[in-house]
Chain A
Amino acid sequence: MSSSGSSPLWEVFVRARRGLAHTHVGSLHAPDAELALRNARDLYTRRQEGVSIWVVPAGAITASSPDEKDAFFDPAADKVYRHPTFYDVPDGVAHL
C-alpha cells in the first residue's frame, strides 16, 4: 500500500430498529475493522438511523453474476463485488 494508497473498502449494514434485519446502507474506506466500525457510526448514523452496525470487507463478499453475459462487461473482473448500493434506511431519518 503506497502512502497515498487508499485503505480497503468496507460495506456497511445497519439495523435501523429492533426487529428489523441489517440492511446495506453504503460503503466506506478504513485501514482496519475497528476504524471501519467507528467511521460507519459517524458516517451512516449521524441522525440516529441505527441500533447496530456491521462492517464487512468488500473483498470478502462474493457476488452472484446477474447472467452469463456478465463476462461482456468486464473493466475489472478481479473485483468480485462492485461496491455499494445506497438503500436508504427505512423511516427513522430525522430531518428538520
Chain B
Amino acid sequence: MNGPFAFTLALGDDALIAAQRLAEWTTRAPEMEEDIALANIALDQLGAARLLLSYAGELEGAGRDEDALAYLRDDREFRNCLLVELPNGDFAVTMAKLLLLSAYQLPLYTALSRCADERLAAIGGKARKESAYHLDHAALWVKRLGEGTPESHRRMQAGIEEVWPYVGELFAGWPQAPVDPATLRADFDEVVSAVLAEATLTVPESAWAPAGGRDGLHTEHLSYLLAEMQVLHRAHPGARW
C-alpha cells in the first residue's frame, strides 16, 4: 500500500469512527447544552473524515468515493486507531478519549498543514483549528470532573486509566508517512500531563500497549459499530441516497 494513501485513509478512519461514537451521545448527554457541544465535535470529525476519505479515494485511483470507503469495507480493512473504536463508557471515559484524541490530532494536523501535499495541507489547516477546540473542550471537562466531587474524581481517573494503554499505538513510527506520528509524542505528553496535573489526576503507567488498528487488527467493538453504520447502505446495493 502506498504511503500517502494508507496514511490519509488511517486519518480519515480515525475521524469517521470518532464521529460515529460521539454521535451516539445525541439525546443522552448530561446536559442539553453538552448534547449540542458533543454534536458539534462529532460534526467536525465527520467533516474531516469526509475530506480525508474523499482524498484517499483519489490517491488510490480505484474509483472509490467517501461512501464506498465508509460503507463497503469490512473491519479488517479499516485503518483507524483502536482508541476511537472503544465504547463511549460514561461521560468521563468519553472525555478521556476526546482529550487523548485531540491532543494527538492537534499536532498531527498542524504538522500536516505544513506538508508538501497541498490537499493534505489544506485539510490539516482546517482541521487543526477544530482540534484545538476539541482539546479545549475536553480539557475543560477533565478539569471539572477531576476537581469536582469525589465521585467525579474517581470516575475521571478510572476513565483515563481505561484508555491510556491505547496511546502507544497513536505514536508508532511511520517514517514513510507525510508526517511521522513518532515525532509528535513530546507535544502530546506536554499537553496531556499539564491538563491531568491541573485536574489533580495521575498520569497512568501501563506496560500493556495494544495496537494493530493501522494494520486492520481491531478490537471486537469495531465490527459491531460497522454493522450498525453500514446496515442500510449495504441493504440496497448501488442505490442513491
Question: Touch between A and B in complex, CB under 8 Å?
Answer: yes
Q: Give the contact stretch, choosing among A15-23, A29-37, A66-74.
A: A29-37
Contacting residues, chain A, for B40 (C-beta < 8 A): 42, 46
Nearest 8 CB-CB pairings of A with B: A39-B33, A42-B36, A42-B37, A42-B40, A43-B36, A34-B140, A28-B33, A38-B137
Task: Enumerate chain A interface residues (CB-CB to B < 8 A).
Answer: 28-31, 34-35, 38-39, 42-43, 46
Interface residues of B in 2-56 (CB under 8 A from A): 31, 33, 36-37, 40
Contacting residues, chain B, for A28 (C-beta < 8 A): 33
B33 touches A30 (CB 8 A): yes
How many pairs, one residue from A and one from B, have CB atoms within 8 Å of each other in the complex? 24
Contacting residues, chain A, for B36 (C-beta < 8 A): 39, 42-43, 46
Smallest CB separation, A51 vs chain B (Å) = 15
What would 9 more interface pairs be, CB under 8 Å, given A29-B31, A39-B33, A42-B40? A35-B33, A35-B140, A35-B144, A38-B37, A39-B37, A42-B33, A43-B36, A46-B36, A46-B40
Complex CA gap A43/B35 in Å reads 10
Q: Which of B33, B37, B136 has the most CB of A within 10 A?
A: B33
- Determine the residue in chain A with the shortest Cβ distance to B143: A34
- Determine the residue in chain A with the shortest Cβ distance to B141: A35
Contacting residues, chain B, for A30 (C-beta < 8 A): 33
- Determine the residue in chain B with the shortest Cβ distance to A35: B140
Contacting residues, chain B, for A29 (C-beta < 8 A): 31, 33
- Determine the residue in chain A with the shortest Cβ distance to B137: A38
- Determine the residue in chain A with the shortest Cβ distance to B37: A42
Complex CA gap A46/B137 in Å reads 16
Smallest CB separation, B184 vs chain A (Å) = 26
Contacting residues, chain A, for B144 (C-beta < 8 A): 31, 35
- Determine the residue in chain A with the shortest Cβ distance to B36: A42
Interface residues of B in 132-182 (CB under 8 A from A): 136-137, 140, 144
Question: Would you list 5 pairs from A and B whose C-beta atoms are within 8 A, ordered by A residue?
Answer: A29-B33, A38-B137, A39-B37, A42-B36, A43-B36
Contacting residues, chain A, for B140 (C-beta < 8 A): 34-35, 38
Smallest CB separation, B235 vs chain A (Å) = 29
Contacting residues, chain A, for B31 (C-beta < 8 A): 29
- Determine the residue in chain B with the shortest Cβ distance to A31: B144
Contacting residues, chain B, for A39 (C-beta < 8 A): 33, 36-37
Contacting residues, chain B, for A43 (C-beta < 8 A): 33, 36
Smallest CB separation, B135 vs chain A (Å) = 12
Complex CA gap A38/B137 in Å reads 8
Contacting residues, chain B, for A46 (C-beta < 8 A): 36, 40
Complex CA gap A29/B31 in Å reads 10
Contacting residues, chain A, for B136 (C-beta < 8 A): 38
Complex CA gap A70/B144 in Å reads 41
Smallest CB separation, A85 vs chain B (Å) = 20
Complex CA gap A36/B136 in Å reads 14
Smallest CB separation, B90 vs chain A (Å) = 16
Smallest CB separation, B146 vs chain A (Å) = 15
Complex CA gap A30/B140 in Å reads 13
- Determine the residue in chain B with the shortest Cβ distance to A36: B33
